[in-house]
Structure 1
Amino acid sequence: MYINSKWRILTVGDGDLSFSASLVKHHKPRALTATVFDTRSTLIAKYGSDEHYQQLLKNGANVLTSFDVTEPSTWQNIILQQFDLVIFQFPLIPGFSSKQDYIKQCEHFSINTLNRRLLRIYLQHCFKYFLADNGAKLAYISSKDVKPYRQWNIEHSLTMNLPVMYLGKMAFNITEFPGYRIRNVDRDKHVKDTQGFTYVYSDNQTLPAEDIQLATFVDDKVFSKLALLNNDNHCAICRTGLLLNELDKKLHFSSKKHLQMQQYEQQWHYYLSQESL
């Protein structure tokens, strides 16, 4: 993950705050505001202490609890449009509190769509409210490259019909953030460190001169890959290719994997159609 020490950074939904604590200690950004969805009392109850909360305050960071990136009413203590970069580490919608809650939330949309919705709203709010017009104007999403996360089609689906571009991805190396523990969204368990990527978004087509180094970290072949995936011999939603002949295509497009991804994409397009109403 590329971090410029001149940047003003906002972290979103940072579990036990260990990522933010490591970020401020080892990468020393110009300014850091760290946020968690939980209240401070829940943070202590869930993780046994608020040591990272205290560390961040000692290092001059701003820390906000009860912060929901999808709900502006929870943002009372944040100054808007002051950040260069917003980071969302390994996002996942919270578990359902009851069977009734599950039925209510999944009445029209699957969990796949609900997670995409969370990330889309995150990106919308980043560029509308959090990022400064005179800054780097970057949003990061780190996510695991395994199911169900890779089924969200993070590269292609989130920015549909938005003035936001997907710029590429960087391998996420947890060793760059000593002390960071990826937490389960609902419990205090440490999540296994499987391969992940940090996906990069911006609404600015040209990087500021001082941030051009970012381009060396982001996959510079992303646009050529997208061009390949959009031809008849590849499947963009499954990130699959090369389909060499008609038999390859028939086998792939009738496979369980493709049919499931097709259902996810159809439902996502239905959600987007409702979003615009």
Structure 2
Amino acid sequence: MGKNKRLKRIKANNKPPPTTKNYGKPTGVTKAVSKPAKKHIQTQHTEPTIPFEVHEKILLVGEGDLSFARSLVENHGCEDVIATVFESRDELKDKYPHVAENLAVLSPKDAEDEPGAENAKPGKRERIMRYNIDATKPGPIWKELTGKCHRVIFNFPHVGGKSKDVNRQVRYNQELIVKFFKLAQSALAPLGHQPKPSHNHPVSPSSIIITLFEGEPYTLWNIRDLGRHAGLQVERSFRFQAKAYPGYRHARTLGVVKGKDGEEGGWKGEERAARSYVFVRKGDTEKISIGENARRRWGDRDVSDGDGEEEGR
């Protein structure tokens, strides 16, 4: 009897613990991890900055195939444009065979009997074309335009491939810019001689605008320092957007480059990042009053492209 009681106690002690029902999640299913909410990325749309008004007198220096000048007239409605080129009329046609259509808009007489000229619609009045204009040398045009221009624009100045040595090439281009600055300043209209201001067209100091590609070797030119040494200062710089000038295409200094198949080739400058620098004479940066709301044109953030830089004063 005693033995049987001991066996019963041992069995009772060795019984497995009572099972409890699990009403939790089924096995094999992991806990759901909450994913962070996707951030809505808003793409900022930057409107191109246009550094001139249609009523201003604009001098274009060192034009190539004249597509930029034509866009100012046809698409922006600029009323007083003088376009100058370094080449003679015949040299220009040899470099850029398609130039006839642009000439027909800017200077119909220069495009007479030229193939392709019949496809272009002439401007409302004859535009002024000037040939054989060296941006570094004094000449009759600079005397004629002394104190008359509101914008002097030189897009992508370059001396061409004078040297394969980078340092020498940089110096050649710096010399070009410095000499140009000196002549261009003489053409700027004095402060207070800008066209009559209106609500839509506030006036600003007359300016020299230079556009360069971004990156080396152009950053080595130190364009801001060249301007300071010439008595100028950068009022503003902004990203140059070729799309703002319909019909414009970058013209290379050496002319149209064709491949072995005879088709036009080479890189397209209008697709390359570039920046424009607006230079004004030191002392011309004070605000110009327009009624009670005095403001500088470039200080108006409504015309900023969101990518601009303003020189500290």
Q: TM-score, normalised by structure 2?
A: 0.62
Alignment-derived partner of residue 213 in structure 1 = 297
Secondary structure of the residue aligned to 1:158 is helix
Contact residue 3 and residue 27 of structure 1 kept, 8 A: no
Secondary structure of the residue aligned to 1:168 is strand
Question: How big is the shift at 1:170?
Answer: 1.0
Distance 1:176 1:143 in 2: 16
Question: How big is the shift at 1:131?
Answer: 1.2
Question: How big is the shift at 1:111?
Answer: 1.0
Alignment-derived partner of residue 71 in structure 2 = 22
Distance 2:151 2:90 in 1: 28
Secondary structure of the residue aligned to 1:10 is strand
Secondary structure of the residue aligned to 2:60 is strand
The one-letter code sitting in structure 1 at the alignment partner of 2:102 is: H
Moved more, 28-37 or 54-63: 54-63
Alignment-derived partner of residue 154 in structure 1 = 223
Distance 1:132 1:95 in 2: 34
- Aligned counterpart for 1:89 among listed residues 155, 163, 167: 155
Distance 1:25 1:188 in 2: 23
The one-letter code sitting in structure 2 at the alignment partner of 1:81 is: G
The one-letter code sitting in structure 1 at the alignment partner of 2:278 is: V
* Distance 1:37-1:209 versus aligned 2 partners, 3 A rule: farther
After TM superposition, list the pairs within 5 Å mapping 1:132-143 onto structure 2.
132-133=189-190, 134-135=193-194, 136-143=205-212
- Aligned counterpart for 2:174 among listed residues 116, 122, 125: 116
Contact residue 235 and residue 285 of structure 2 kept, 8 A: no
Cα displacement string for residues 107-143 of structure 1 (whole angstroms, at most 9, x for unaligned residues): xx71101111111221221112x11112331010011
- Unaligned stretches of 5+ residues in structure 1: 97-101, 225-277
Alignment-derived partner of residue 137 in structure 2 = 71
Q: How many residues align?
A: 213
Alignment-derived partner of residue 115 in structure 2 = none
Alignment-derived partner of residue 249 in structure 1 = none
* Distance 1:138-1:160 versus aligned 2 partners, 3 A rule: closer
Contact residue 70 and residue 122 of structure 1 kept, 8 A: yes
Distance 1:23 1:79 in 2: 20
Contact residue 67 and residue 74 of structure 1 kept, 8 A: no
Distance 1:35 1:208 in 2: 31
Distance 1:161 1:175 in 2: 33
CA RMSD between the two structures: 2.5
- Report which of the two has the higher share of helix: 1
Q: Percent identity?
A: 23
Question: How big is the shift at 1:153?
Answer: 1.5
Question: How big is the shift at 1:73?
Answer: 3.0
* Distance 1:181-1:207 versus aligned 2 partners, 3 A rule: farther
The one-letter code sitting in structure 2 at the alignment partner of 1:143 is: L
The one-letter code sitting in structure 1 at the alignment partner of 2:312 is: F
Distance 1:83 1:205 in 2: 17
* Distance 1:208-1:185 versus aligned 2 partners, 3 A rule: farther
Question: How big is the shift at 1:8?
Answer: 0.6
